[in-house]
C-alpha cells in the first residue's frame, strides 16, 4: 500500500475526510510515527540473487540491511569434492581388491597406504570449506571467497531495513500499521480536543475518550507484537 492509500484508510477509520490535515493534525505524520515503531518488529527475511564478487557492495546491488543472515552459491554443487589424486585412489583400491581376488588367499597385497591416503583425503574434504563470507557492517559490504570453480551468482539472505511504508508486504503487518496509525491519530486528536472545556454547555468533545481508546489500543498492539517477536525464530 502507498502512503496515500494508508491516509485514506486511516481517515475512514477515524470518520474524517482524507485531506492533508485534520484539525491541524497530519494523518501522514501519524502513519510515519507508527511505521518507525512497527518496523523494529518486522524481522521477516528476504533473499536476493546477485552476481558473484569477492566484495559485494550491498547498496549497489539494491540490498538495504544491517543484518545478513546467510550467503550461498545460487546453484550449489551437490556431493563431496574430490581432487584428481583422491579420485585416482578409488580406482587403485578397486584394482587392488580385484587383484587380491584373482590371486587368492595366498597373495599378500598391502593396501593400507592407499586406504590411509583415502582416509586423509576424506578428512581434508570434510574440514575444507568451499564457501566463506563475512559481513562488514561499517562499510555495508560482504566479502566472499569460494574455491574454484567459482559460482556465477550468490544468494544473499538478509533482514531488510524499511524506508517507506510501501515496502511493507503481508496483510498482517499492513493491518498493524493501520491500527497503530489510527491509535496515534486518536492520541493527537484527543490531546487537541482536551485542551479546553466548555462549562455549562450541552456540547462536549470526545478528547478524553479518544485518549483512553488510543492508549488501550496501543497497549494491546504492543503486547501482540512483543509476543510475536518472542516466537519468531530465524533459521539460516
Q: DSSP readout, 3-19?
A: HHHHHHHHHHHHT----
- Cell numbers describing residue 228: 510475536
pLDDT at 92: 54
Q: Which helix (H) or strand (E) holds 183?
A: helix 171-193
Q: How far is CA 75 from CA 72, 78, 146, 158, in A?
A: 8, 9, 13, 18
Q: Check: CB of residue 82 under 8 Å from CB of residue 181.
A: no
> Residue 6 has what pLDDT?
94
Residue-level pLDDT at 23: 57
pLDDT below 70 — which residues of the chain? 17-25, 76-115, 117-129, 198, 200-204, 231-236
Q: What are phi and psi of 51, to 5 degrees?
A: -60, 145
Question: Can you tell me whether residue 105 is helix, strand or coil?
Answer: coil
Q: What pLDDT does 149 receive?
A: 83
Residue 120 has a pLDDT of: 67
Give the pLDDT of residue 105.
Answer: 55
The sign one gets for the Cα dihedral 65, 68, 228, 226 is negative
pTM: 0.67
Q: Per-residue DSSP letters for 136-180?
A: ETTTTEEEEEEPSSPPSEEEEEEEEPP-SGGG--SHHHHHHHHHH
Query: What is the model's pLDDT at position 7?
Result: 92
Q: How far apart are CA 199 and CA 223, in angstroms?
A: 38
Q: In the prediction, which pLDDT does 75 show? A: 78
Per-residue pLDDT at 84: 46
In angstroms, rounded to a whole number, what is the distance separating the alpha carbons of residues 134 and 90? 36
pLDDT for residue 195 = 77
What pLDDT score does 93 carry? 53
* pLDDT at 15 (0 to 100): 85
pLDDT of residue 205: 73
Amino acid at each position: 500500500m502507498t502512503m496515500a492509500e494508508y491516509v485514506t484508510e486511516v481517515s475512514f477509520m477515524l470518520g474524517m475526510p482524507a485531506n492533508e490535515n485534520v484539525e491541524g493534525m497530519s494523518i501522514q505524520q501519524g502513519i510515519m510515527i507508527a511505521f518507525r515503531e512497527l518496523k523494529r518488529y518486522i524481522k521477516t527475511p528476504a533473499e536476493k540473487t546477485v552476481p558473484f564478487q569477492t566484495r559485494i557492495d550491498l547498496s549497489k546491488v539494491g540490498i538495504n540491511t544491517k543484518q545478513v543472515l546467510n550467503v550461498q552459491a545460487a546453484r550449489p554443487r551437490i556431493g563431496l569434492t574430490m581432487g584428481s589424486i583422491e579420485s585416482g585412489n578409488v580406482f587403485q583400491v578397486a584394482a587392488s581388491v580385484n587383484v587380491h581376488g584373482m590371486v587368492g588367499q595366498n597373495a599378500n597385497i598391502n593396501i593400507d597406504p592407499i586406504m590411509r591416503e583415502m582416509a586423509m583425503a576424506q578428512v581434508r574434504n570434510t574440514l575444507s570449506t568451499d564457501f566463506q563470507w563475512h559481513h562488514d557492517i561499517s562499510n555495508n559490504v560482504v566479502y566472499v571467497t569460494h574455491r574454484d570453480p567459482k559460482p556465477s551468482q550468490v544468494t544473499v539472505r538478509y533482514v531488510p531495513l524499511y524506508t517507506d511504508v510501501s515496502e511493507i508486504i503481508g496483510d498482517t503487518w499492513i493491518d498493524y500499521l493501520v491500527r497503530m496509525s489510527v491509535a496515534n491519530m486518536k492520541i493527537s486528536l484527543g490531546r487537541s480536543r482536551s485542551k479546553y472545556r466548555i462549562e455549562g454547555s450541552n456540547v462536549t468533545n470526545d478528547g478524553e475518550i479518544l485518549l483512553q481508546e488510543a492508549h488501550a489500543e496501543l497497549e494491546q498492539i504492543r503486547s501482540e507484537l512483543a509476543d510475536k517477536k518472542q516466537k519468531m525464530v530465524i533459521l539460516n
